[in-house]
């Protein structure tokens, strides 16, 4: 892959569902999904930095490398979020 075509890493992915020309419903448009950071880690290295126990309960993980803030892509687009 050339340097010009390389896409920067992002955990938020998109796809466009197939829409047939015979489908009576309007096209949905882009759909979004998030991939967790552990998919790109490969293995868990020793001595990863950790949250405090209270902060870990709040964030849902003990390790800072495995935490990622989730931003809802559907909010702020004028539509209802589910």
- Over residues 7-38, the pLDDT tens digits come to 556 778 899 999 999 999 999 889 998 888 88
Per-residue model confidence (pLDDT) at position 76: 73
Instruction: State pLDDT tens for residues 34-69.
Output: 888 888 878 878 888 999 999 999 998 899 888 888
With 0.95 as the threshold, say if the pTM is over it.
no
* CA–CA dist 50, 29 (Å, integer): 39
Angle at 66 between CA 38 and CA 50, to 5 degrees: 140
């Amino acid at each position: 892959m050339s340097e010009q075509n390389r896409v920067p890493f992002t955990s938020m992915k998109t796809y466009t569902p197939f829409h047939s020309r015979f489908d009576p419903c309007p096209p949905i448009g882009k759909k979004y999904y998030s991939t967790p950071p552990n998919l790109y880690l490969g293995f868990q290295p020793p001595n990863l930095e950790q949250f405090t126990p209270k902060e870990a309960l709040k964030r849902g993980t003990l390790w800072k490398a495995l935490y990622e803030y989730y931003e809802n892509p559907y909010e702020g687009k004028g539509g209802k979020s589910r």
